[in-house]
């Protein structure tokens, strides 16, 4: 089985869905994903009741607060309620029909750019939520330790770390991979805000473009995005931003954040003392990280 599919939910989830909705659901199905090596089953359920469809998602109080405090009026599902069960937080969300963005095309690129710019414009320069940025900063400083044996990557990553303190901040999705956007009626809706908060603006742009794999090369995500589509997306975000650095700084900010994406996916391997060095250097993300580091350190 390939792509998104749904499987029947158990009675416990059906009962929870009924409690949150206040009525007995007609059907409850679990969201699953199968695409090559990417196999996941999520604590996300499609609930049908009263002629409508909803999403029931196991979440956290922080994500619930994001929906209530930041996201009304933005391209995100509406939050319709929440409940607690056995200490866990569950959100009832608007169901947004449509394909995700992993088979990226021109229409999706433009829609994703415009939706992301709308989110960033709404909170550009905000000083809300400083704790989220501090958690992020602590995480990337710790991540840098995995580069102790990689002097060129470490030098480029230091440029990234230094820039994060000054990089403009805004509301970020925090995990804007292509499967976390839904293309619905010509617009892109950002779903799954569990890692959201106020952070450097370049993170969401970089995460969306860093994992596109036009050749289907093994070792990366099975998401399609070629260079013209990346350039179209990056350019349209810049065009739509109401407040922004100059173009050169904008491009460097994204390149630095892309390096962080690659180092994040290399971290476990770089800390594995038993990993064969030749296997590491031949790997998808290592090669991409090296090329990105070279472009960052290259004299201008």
pLDDT in tens, 67-116: 999 999 999 999 998 888 888 899 999 999 999 998 999 999 999 999 99
Is residue 247, in this structure, part of any structural domain at all?
yes
Same domain, residue pair 157 and 260: yes
Distance, C-alpha 225 to centroid of its chain: 15
Asked if residue 233 belongs to a domain, the reply is yes
**Beta-bridge partners for 55:** 46, 93
Strands 38-49 vs 27-35: parallel, antiparallel or unpaired: antiparallel
Query: How deeply is 15 buried, as exposed, middle or buried, from its count of CB atoms within 10 A (0-12, 13-18, 19+)?
Result: middle
> How many CB atoms within 10 Å of residue 23?
11
Three-state SS for 201? coil
Domain end call among 94, 120, 135: 94
Residues ≥6 apart with Cβ < 8 Å to 18? 24, 25
Distance CA 295, CA 299 (A): 9
Report how far residue 178's alpha carbon sits from residue 142's, in angstroms, rounded to the nearest whole number: 26
215 within a domain of the structure (yes/no): yes
Q: Say if residue 38's pLDDT is above 70.
A: no
Label residues 50-64 b or e (16+ Cβ within 10 Å = b).
Answer: eeebbbbbbbeeebb
Give the H/E segment covering residue 65: helix 61-69
Indicate whether 9 belongs to any domain. Answer: yes
Count of C-beta atoms within a 10 Å radius of residue 73: 9
Domain extent, residue 78, equals 3-94
Domain final residue, candidates 94, 125, 143: 94
Provide, rounded to the nearest whole percent, the portion of the chain with pLDDT above 90: 73
Domain count, the chain: 2
Residue 220 pLDDT > 80 = no
Clarify whether residues 135 and 53 are in a common domain. no
Residue 99, domain member (yes or no): no
203: its two tokens? 């993170």
Tokens of 258: 């892309």
Q: What CA dihedral angle connects 193, 196, 201 and 207, to 10 degrees?
A: -60
**Nearest residue to 33 via CA among 58, 3, 71, 60:** 3
Tell me the per-residue pLDDT of 262-274, one tens digit each, with 9 for 90 and over.
999 999 999 998 9
What pTM did the predictor assign?
A: 0.92
Please give the average per-residue pLDDT across 59-72, as a whole number. Answer: 93
pLDDT band for position 2 (cuts 50, 70, 90)? very low
Alpha carbon distance 226, 209 (integer Å): 9
> What's residue 1's pLDDT?
38
Residue 176 neighbours by CB under 8 Å, 6+ apart: 116, 190, 204, 207, 208
pLDDT, tens digit, 9 for 90 and up, residues 103-154: 999 999 999 999 999 999 999 999 888 999 999 999 999 999 999 999 999 9
Same domain, 275 and 195: yes
Average pLDDT, the chain: 92
State the pLDDT at residue 193. Answer: 97
101 occurs within a structural domain:
no
């Amino acid at each position: 089985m390939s792509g998104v599919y749904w499987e029947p939910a158990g009675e416990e989830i059906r009962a929870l869905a009924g409690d949150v909705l206040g009525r007995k659901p007609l059907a409850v199905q679990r969201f699953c994903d199968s695409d090559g090596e990417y196999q996941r089953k999520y604590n996300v359920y499609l609930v049908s009741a009263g002629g409508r469809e909803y999403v029931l998602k196991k979440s956290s109080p922080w994500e619930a607060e994001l929906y209530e405090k930041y996201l009304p009026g933005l391209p995100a599902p509406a939050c319709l309620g929440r409940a607690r069960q056995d200490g866990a937080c569950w959100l009832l969300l608007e169901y947004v029909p449509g394909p995700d963005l992993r088979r990226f095309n021109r229409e999706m690129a433009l829609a994703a750019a415009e939706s992301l710019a709308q989110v960033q414009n709404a909170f550009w320069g905000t000083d809300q939520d400083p704790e989220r940025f501090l958690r992020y900063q602590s995480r990337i400083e710790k991540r840098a330790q995995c580069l102790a044996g990689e002097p060129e990557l470490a030098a480029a990553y230091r440029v990234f770390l230094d820039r994060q303190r000054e990089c403009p901040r805004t509301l970020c999705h925090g995990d804007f991979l292509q499967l976390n956007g839904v293309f619905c009626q010509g617009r892109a809706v950002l779903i799954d805000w569990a890692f959201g908060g106020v952070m450097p603006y370049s993170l969401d742009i970089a995460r969306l473009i860093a994992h596109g794999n036009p050749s289907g090369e093994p070792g990366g995500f099975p998401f399609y995005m070629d260079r013209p589509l990346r350039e179209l997306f990056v350019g349209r975000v810049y065009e739509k931003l109401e407040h922004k650095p100059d173009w050169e700084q904008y491009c460097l900010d994204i390149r630095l954040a892309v390096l962080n994406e690659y180092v994040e996916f290399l971290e476990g391997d770089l800390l594995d003392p038993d990993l064969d060095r030749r296997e590491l250097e031949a790997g998808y993300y290592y090669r991409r990280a090296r090329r990105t580091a070279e472009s960052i350190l290259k004299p201008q």
